[in-house]
Amino acid sequence: MKTILFVCTENSARSQMAEGLFNFYNKNPEYIAVSAGTAPSKTTKPFAIEVMKEKEIDISRQTPKILTWDMAQNAHKIYTMGCINSCPLTPPEKTVDWKLEDPTGKPIKKFREVRYEIEKRIKKLVSEL
């Protein structure tokens, strides 16, 4: 199985949403998504969980994880959410930075906007597998 790795700093919002959306839309059994962070928080952001529930995707049981060297080396492809400069473990030849705004500390509307942008990119990514 090939792993698609989504990375953001805290692994509490953007990358968690990306993991949930990829695993929801992907129908190719050769691929699975996981997410991680360079400085993971203790929990997934409540607004991230809430906006994903609006899409009927439950990420409430996903927990932030630390990005490890093994995760990065074993990933088929890596997508950083806008934190590529703080992701020294991600090999450049298989890493794409999506340059997404961090919604942390902002109203739920911003989480919806970021979710929408991630969803568009995930649908395109899944269609290209």
Residue 66 DSSP symbol: B
Residue range 2-128 in CATH 3.30.300.30: no
20 and 51 Cβ atoms separated by less than 8 Å: no
For residue 86, the model assigns a pLDDT of 56
Q: What is the pLDDT of residues 118-129, one digit of tens each?
A: 999 999 999 998
Average pLDDT over residues 76-82: 92
Q: Which two tokens stand for residue 106?
A: 């902002």
Q: Cα angle vertex 115, ends 42, 16, to 5°?
A: 30
Please report the pLDDT score of residue 84 as a whole number: 61
Q: Which residues of 39-78 are buried (b: 16+ CB within 10 A; e: fewer)?
A: ebeeebbebbbebbeebebebeebebeebeeebbeebebb
pLDDT at 54 over 70: yes
CA neighbor of 104 nearest in space, from 117, 114, 94, 96: 114
Domain coordinates in residue numbering, the chain: 2-128
Overall average pLDDT of the 29-43 stretch: 95
Percent of the chain with pLDDT over 90: 87
Residue at 124: amino acid letter: K
Task: Supply the pTM of this predicted model.
Answer: 0.94
40 pLDDT tier (thresholds 50, 70, 90): very high
